[in-house]
Each structure stands twice: as C-alpha cells, then as structure tokens.
Amino acid sequence: MSAPRFDHAKDRAGELSLVQSAPELAPDERGATLATLVRRELELIGEDPMREGLLRTPERVAKSLAWLTRGYEQDVADVVGSAVFEEAHSQMVLVRDIDFYSLCEHHMLPFFGKVHIAYVPDGRIVGLSKLPRVVEVFARRLQVQERLTEQIAEGIESVLRPAGVGVVVEAEHLCMMMRGVEKQHSTTITSALRGCFRDAPATRDEFLRLVHGRR
Ligand code: ZN
C-alpha cells in the first residue's frame, strides 16, 4: 500500500519530510494530523476555528481531502480486475463524455470536465464500465491536466496492450476561473495518442472527428 502512494513524488528532489513519513501513519492518524493543519490554516487566514460554524470544519476538510485524493491508493490493474476479455473485434471502441473531477497540483483547486477514451483492440477488450474507473484512479490525485491525460492512456495501454489508444480531456480550471487570471470560461483541451492513434492518420482523424465533431 505505502509504495504506490507516493510513487510519483520519488522523482522530485527534496520532498518534504512530512510527505516521506506520511505513509507510516495509520489512516486515522493521517486524518487527525491533517485536521490539525487545517485548524492552523483557519487561524492563519484570520478565522476563528472555535466559532460554531467552523468547529468541525478541519475534520470535514481532512476527510474530504482524503477522499478527493484516494487515487493514490489505487492502481489500474486493481480497478480493471478480471474485466479483460479475449475478443477478435478490431474496430475502434470509443467511450465519450466521462465526467471527472480533479485537483490541480499548483493551487489544490478543482479542475473538471470530460474525458473521451478510444482504443483499437488487439485481441482483448475491457468491460466498458471500467474505463471511468481508470479515469478515477488518476483524477483523484493532485494533477496537471497534461499528466492526467497521459496517465489514462498509459494505464489503458498497460492492462489491454491494444493496437492503439487515444485520450482527449476537456476541462475548466477553477484556479483560472475563480482567481480571474485568465479567460473565465476557457476550456483546456489535451490529448494523448499512442500506437495506431499516433501513427495512422485515418484512425487519428476518425477519433478526433468523433470526439470534437459532435456539437
Ligand atoms: Zn491551478
């Protein structure tokens, strides 16, 4: 459990010692420590953590943050489980408009939108209900949209070994919208194309037309 939790933190030098010691803590200790930090945050922004409306806020925030980042505890192989089936079908499979909610790693504010996933099977298909769960594994972490997109593609590639996979993510970022630093209603679109989605123009075009050409 503790190994995958902070996997991606390893390649960053000088991580806080708090991060390194966190996996040693039991979940309820982690929650209590977080709540203490949130109480301190409230003081630092000039609030009174003892006033009635805020009394249980630190515990709620700690719980909600644990839930919103539960993807650290999950991996693709686990959520897909045994839902990979032998199948000769070799045409594109596309699931469009998968809702997701994530937190940007720069501000810890939500970004959210839709994910579109397509793959061309190579002897195996995956239960369609599993694709939204693959999205959840990576969305429920601190993210940047570009990495989220790549990780979804990589996750599907790893369990399915398809002829190709394409992922498009369309999202709005509250850190841009709420802070008013950029265009308020802009949508950010990212894509990850692998295998025949990268190498075969006809496949790529079909995918992008199906994803973008609908409105
Ligand atoms: Zn941000």
Q: Which of 173, 169, 162, 144 is nearest to 200 (CA)?
A: 162
Look up tokens 């991996």; give the residue.
Answer: 75
Q: Which of 164, 138, 136, 169 is nearest to 151 (CA)?
A: 138
Is the pLDDT at 2 greater than 70? The verdict is: no
The domains of the chain, with CATH numbers, are 6-68 (1.10.286.10), 82-212 (3.30.1130.10)
CA of 175 relative to ligand 1 center, distance in Å = 5
CA of 103 relative to ligand 1 center, distance in Å = 8
* Residue 88: Cβ-neighbour burial (10 angstroms; 0-12, 13-18, 19+): exposed
Report how far residue 9's alpha carbon sits from residue 175's, in angstroms, rounded to the nearest whole number.
22
Mean pLDDT for the stretch of residues 63-87: 94
Q: pLDDT value at position 161?
A: 96
pLDDT tens digits for range 122-149:
999 999 999 999 999 999 999 999 999 9
CA of 70 relative to ligand 1 center, distance in Å = 19
Q: pLDDT value at position 183?
A: 63
CA of 111 relative to ligand 1 center, distance in Å = 8
Look up tokens 């030098």; give the residue.
Answer: 13
Report how far residue 3's alpha carbon sits from residue 14's, in angstroms, rounded to the nearest whole number.
18
**172 vs 215, higher pLDDT:** 172
* Token code pair at residue 111: 């970004």
